[in-house]
Amino acid sequence: MNTVLTMAMPKGRIFEEAVDLLRQAGYPLPPEFEESRKLIIDAPEAGLRFILAKPMDVPTYVEHGVADIGIAGKDVMLEEERDVYEVLDLKISECYLAVAGLPEGNYQKVAPKIASKYPNVASHYFREQGQQVEVIKLNGSIELAPLIGLADRIVDIVSTGRTLKENGLVELEKIADITSRLIVNPASYRLHALRINELVERMRKLVENKGDVQ
């Protein structure tokens, strides 16, 4: 009997897309699976067990080895810098990280304030640009910060740009393209090499074929 692989999944939109992908890759997942409110869901027919975590926490579960594999956004990977293998670009949940601010903002300050949910990414990015900034960590509604004067600019993910627009902000610089990635714990990668390789290959074929069609 094969060992059950534990997979850490981000709750919400990415989870649905990822479940879709897994089904297409031939993993029999029970119906109405996505609607469950459980945090741990077993799918014995597929030999998988899912744990549902906050997107930002997925790499943590995988790094500590309580999950063998996981699906995490590249934004989270950049922010958290966890010791895990990033093996496959699933090409779902596409968006990008960008700097945004008010159109008439004053960008000449000595140490401008930057609000972000991604303080590491933000400070790393501005350091690379040779700019001295002060980063303020926020947990959501980042667009609010420049509007009421908490920060001069923000670093956040942009998918359609609608939120920025509706709040009167403009995109200033693009930092990086973001998609969801399949990540693997280093020990599991070797202990369960066969099962993980199979899963990765099935997903890879699917993702690559999709790329060809489009």
Partner 1 sequence: MSKPFVFEKPAGMRDTLPAFYQKNEDIKNTIKKEMESWGYQFIQTPTLEYHETVGEASAILDQQLFKLLDMEGKTLVLRPDMTAPIARVVSSSMKNVAYPLRLAYSSPVFRAQQREGGRPAEFEQVGIELIGEGTSSAEAEALALMTEVIKKSGIQSYTIAVGHIGFVQELLADILGNDNRAADLLRYLNEKNYVGYTSHVKELPLSSIDTQRLLKLLELRGGIEVLDEAAALSPNRKGQQVLEELNTLYTLLEDYCAAENIVFDFTLFSHMSYYTGIVFEGYAAGIGAPIASGGRYDDLLSRFDRKAPAIGFAIRMDYFIDAFNSKNDSTKKECILYTSERRKEALKLAKSKRVEGGIIVMQDLSGVRNVDEFSKRFDEIHYLIGSQQGEDL
Residues found near partner 1 in the complex (CB under 8 A)? 63-66, 74, 83-89, 181, 185-188, 190-191, 193, 197
CB of 191 to partner 1, least distance (A): 5
For residue 181, give every residue at least 6 positions away whose Cβ sits within 8 Å of its Cβ, in sequence order, or none. 71, 72, 73, 74, 77, 86, 87, 88, 89, 90
Instruction: Report the residue number, 147 or 200, with the smaller CB distance to partner 1.
Output: 200
Instruction: Report the residue number, 39 or 193, with the smaller CB distance to partner 1.
Output: 193
d(CA 184, CA 63): 8
- CA 24 to each of CA 27, 33, 203: distance values in angstroms, whole numbers, following the listed order: 7, 15, 9
CB of 194 to partner 1, least distance (A): 9
CB of 17 to partner 1, least distance (A): 17
Angle 209-211-212 from CA coordinates, rounded to 5°: 65
CB of 160 to partner 1, least distance (A): 24
Nearest to 131 by CA among 149, 146, 113: 113
Instruction: Report the residue number, 151 or 196, with the smaller CB distance to partner 1.
Output: 196
Instruction: Report the residue number, 43 or 67, with the smaller CB distance to partner 1.
Output: 67
